[in-house]
Structure 1
């Protein structure tokens, strides 16, 4: 008799010629190329796309992490697909995956077996696509994933330190799907199955493509068109580039958006408006597909895949984020509006997870991009329909936003009641400002307090992660984050609940250094304020300008894209190191440096708060901050 823990798993999608032949397939309909190892789990985009194609009746295979360096046999081993190649760099932009904020090469890759680096190229989407175009010039190439999505229009590349055109130009791909790809993909698949060629389809939402001229763009009666400043104009005029970004961000987050065009040389980029955010039924369709929830068996001898180990026993309940933080790419890729799964689908996945052969009773995360935005949306959708604001909670919480935590609290309680679940933790970052009454005045029935009590007493795995990001109100305004005073109020509330229940679970705040709008004295003050609160910070995220973010635009242009007013930004390694150093006030070798630096900045009170007036000691360069990568 087979026990629950020994249950047979469903099949993986094929990744080798032998696996294709075992299915009796002579030709594949679609072949997916990915920069990640193949993990058949709903948190990995390639698996989701592959399973959707399978559900639409297509014969699909995956070539994960192909060798791009020598004979290119990996790209040839499965032959040419009937319809098209799908290309993605993986779950991260390949440049963020490869390099630190100081542009140093990382020594590991969390999406590769054993965490081994070197299994994907820089600018992976471009490299893969161009190879396919050389080998199979007649087969269309569709690109997608976060790298393609965030580089769909003229963008600043921090690693090359220059503006690059749409990734469609450099990759020579036929089409780009941006954002979460389920909706456009399903429509595209039905069209190609009906006989249309991928590169001739122009009227589907949430795709981008290139036409020879503006006159070649097909008319759509329900779409207005906005033309951006051309790529060539942006190369000469940073203000035009900044103005472009505002248009792209606004149109990306509207329910009734416009089509965007941009001239690039003698070609025209066309970006069709996005679909409306997926409803529960559509979300459930993606998450209820027959995933094995495991890496492909071929990786067993190469070691565990770190990114998979992190989410192996986690459950993603929603997508999207209405925070609109200046440094974050979530809303640019997943959207501003929250797409939530049904309670039934979530509980079904809980049941599946408990049957995993390695499950010991502990769920590592019940969360999403922000842990506590599940089912939050506008009370009156007609207001959201007209809204152009990039954030629903900055500078204040929108009065139309339903911020009830009741649905989330109910799910926590149901998961807790499952007989095979010993403990379910919340590992995703909690948006703490939604739980502070002075900031979020929509707490009319006390559901925020009930949620926080449930969270702190039942779902904290030793410590709780929150992200105030800074203490300077001026910097926080640039970040689109609330005043640090609300973090203090949240901490008071958190500490009260802990004291009430006799708990000792540290609060772990995350901060960013060198963000646009941050002066060196602001970092010194941050260190002093967090010291006063009892924190000794050992890791901090150094700001990295990633494409399709407000902060990236400010870093490159020196102005805010919405106001076109100058914003101070540090750029040199010396300036960045100076900002980072203040986090290490507690190290003896740093005290002399901090004291002398603050003396030059005419900040004696800050020096006294941080390091006092003791004897000077030599500064050791070994105390550089570690750059922490967030997934």
Structure 2
């Protein structure tokens, strides 16, 4: 741990507050994560923004919520408001596997220890604060609050829950990336406007009595979705709600959304327009120490920090719109990119870190290769309601040039303090396939791919085809698996040209809506044929504010309201997951028996035969009858 003055960090204790000469705090942040003063951690970003606006700010990280609640009292009552976040992850995703088993570790806690935050942390923290300080407003934010801002299905309780504002009792919610609404709120608060009376700021949500008339602000039009009570009675109405919320969350000229819940009305103001480069730079250039708080020194390293401490996040957002993913729901569909100057400044900061050995672990973002990609004509984007810019095809208005990203890679590569700069984020491979990405007539994505493969792969490259079935991929909003085959061919050719051996590591999901058990057997067979023994696999978890979650609960697609089958029982989900591991002896008998029961002995044969037998079959040819092939096999063996 680097020794630095304790005042370099935002204060965590009463003693640290006093060292700054403060006898009162303006804002206190409560966080489910340990405090790491780094731009990859939301609590640090929010804390530094509040500090930059001239407020006295302190953090209570991972407070003890079980006993005497002293952690909630130790800093007293703030002048303006409490801020509450569960942390960088939804607390339920953080705590439980897809099978609802309790995880044994927590990457956002020193030593990776579990048990330092409650289930539904945002709600638990807020209720405690409201009990202790009923007159102090509470502002909630972060991914847990953001994705639970309307009626949502909770997989862990297996039921619909109302907006988190209703259950928690918070006064206001900031959704999405919070810099823009937070700065507006702080300026109003500084002018003497109580936080719980503010109504005219974009990207906030609040509850008001239904009998109270809605205010007219900023020429916003209003769209009403089905009430929480109607959703409880009608799954189709719940599904239809989601389409409205997703469309309005990703429009530049969006409507205000309202939803009745009990005797109150939820009001969700339209989002801000995507942050400009200058705004992104300001956020990333705040005076972070880039280190965990010194109080954690004896408790061990914080795994999530160890993973990113020598990485650089160059952009936010994702225009993929994948059905199972929350990135666009929280960070937005449009890409917000930092300037080259800001990125290179961060490279200098990393190089000067005394533990830095010359290797940057990641130059990336949510998807590694979306940096500076945007609409060629923004007026078209203003009117667009599509949840994805690249599904089912790439929008002709999307500039998919990889040149700015290639130039960044080259400049970081040339830095005298950098030996190697790797790309650890997942690469959106379909943007690198000519047949799919027809927007790049100059083929600068080929130049990018060669730069990536030859200079920036740390042994293995992560990509996410997610499935092989076109029907399942359509539900996922992912491209056909044929494009992965084409990408692999390009990738392998570059490797052969430069005599490299850097395997692709593809990610796949089982039990996704629209996936049948035979689809999983096909997936296993197709990836086996390509030479993969899959490692990076997961069982689908329905998380709030995703298309797939809505399908899982309601049984219909929210855009078509047509039925889609989903594996839901433990047995169904386990059966699908088993096919990933065809190469393990303990699964072979099960796979053989199961596929014979499903009348697919051909798939069992394809999956379980040895590589030597597969080679023999290739020589014999697949067009002959099985009896003739068996005869030739016997002759071949002799």
* Alignment TM-score > 0.5, same fold: yes
In structure 2, distance between residues paired with 1:312 and 1:101: 28
* Contact 1:133 1:139 (8 Å CA) reproduced: yes
Is 1:184 paired with 2:185?
no
In structure 1, distance between residues paired with 2:328 and 2:439: 23
Q: Residues 352-363 of structure 1: matches in 2 within 5 Å?
A: 352-363=349-360
In structure 2, distance between residues paired with 1:357 and 1:56: 31
Is 1:449 paired with 2:446?
yes
In structure 1, distance between residues paired with 2:331 and 2:535: 31
* Contact 2:6 2:16 (8 Å CA) reproduced: no
Q: Residues 275-314 of structure 1: matches in 2 within 5 Å?
A: 275-314=272-311
In structure 2, distance between residues paired with 1:534 and 1:213: 60
Q: Which residue of structure 1 aligns with residue 111 of structure 2?
A: 114
- 1:70 corresponds, among 67, 90, 96, to 67
Q: Which residue of structure 2 aligns with residue 317 of structure 1?
A: 314
In structure 2, distance between residues paired with 1:596 and 1:493: 38
Structure number, greater radius of gyration: 2
Q: Which residue of structure 1 aligns with residue 154 of structure 2?
A: 157
The alpha carbon displacement at 1:219 in A equals 1.0
The alpha carbon displacement at 1:527 in A equals 0.2
Q: Residues 467-482 of structure 1: matches in 2 within 5 Å?
A: 467-482=464-479
In structure 2, distance between residues paired with 1:540 and 1:409: 30
Is 1:516 paired with 2:509?
no
Q: Residues 28-107 of structure 1: matches in 2 within 5 Å?
A: 28-107=25-104
In structure 2, distance between residues paired with 1:338 and 1:604: 47
Over the residues paired in the alignment, what is the CA RMSD in angstroms? 1.2
* Matched residue SS, 2:8: coil
Q: Residues 484-563 of structure 1: matches in 2 within 5 Å?
A: 484-563=481-560
In structure 2, distance between residues paired with 1:76 and 1:478: 48
* Contact 2:505 2:536 (8 Å CA) reproduced: no
Is 1:241 paired with 2:206?
no
* Matched residue SS, 1:216: coil
* Matched residue SS, 1:190: helix
In the TM superposition, what whole-angstrom CA distance separates every residue of 1:228-249 from its partner, at most 9, and x where no partner exists? 1000000000000000000000
Q: Residues 203-218 of structure 1: matches in 2 within 5 Å?
A: 203-213=200-210, 215-218=212-215
In structure 1, distance between residues paired with 2:3 and 2:307: 23
In structure 1, distance between residues paired with 2:536 and 2:282: 39
In the TM superposition, what whole-angstrom CA distance separates every residue of 1:537-571 from its partner, at most 9, and x where no partner exists? 13411100000000000000000000000001000
Is 1:341 paired with 2:338?
yes
The alpha carbon displacement at 1:297 in A equals 0.3
| Unaligned runs of at least 5 residues, structure 1 | 615-631
- 1:575 corresponds, among 541, 563, 572, to 572
**Shift in CA distance, 8/79, structure 1 to aligned 2, threshold 3 Å:** closer
Q: Which residue of structure 1 aligns with residue 262 of structure 2?
A: 265
In structure 1, distance between residues paired with 2:240 and 2:222: 16
Equivalenced residue count is 610
* Contact 1:327 1:552 (8 Å CA) reproduced: yes
* Matched residue SS, 1:61: strand
In the TM superposition, what whole-angstrom CA distance separates every residue of 1:160-206 from its partner, at most 9, and x where no partner exists? 00000000000000000000000000000000011010000000000
Q: Which residue of structure 2 aligns with residue 623 of structure 1?
A: none
In structure 2, distance between residues paired with 1:476 and 1:188: 41
* Contact 2:9 2:293 (8 Å CA) reproduced: yes
In the TM superposition, what whole-angstrom CA distance separates every residue of 1:93-152 from its partner, at most 9, and x where no partner exists? 000000000000000000000000000000000000000000000000000000000000
In structure 2, distance between residues paired with 1:589 and 1:147: 38
Q: Which residue of structure 1 aligns with residue 616 of structure 2?
A: none
The alpha carbon displacement at 1:508 in A equals 0.2
| Unaligned runs of at least 5 residues, structure 2 | 612-638
* Contact 2:148 2:544 (8 Å CA) reproduced: yes
In structure 2, distance between residues paired with 1:344 and 1:490: 32
In structure 1, distance between residues paired with 2:5 and 2:142: 31
* Contact 1:473 1:484 (8 Å CA) reproduced: yes
The alpha carbon displacement at 1:592 in A equals 1.2
The alpha carbon displacement at 1:215 in A equals 3.9
- 1:139 corresponds, among 136, 140, 163, to 136
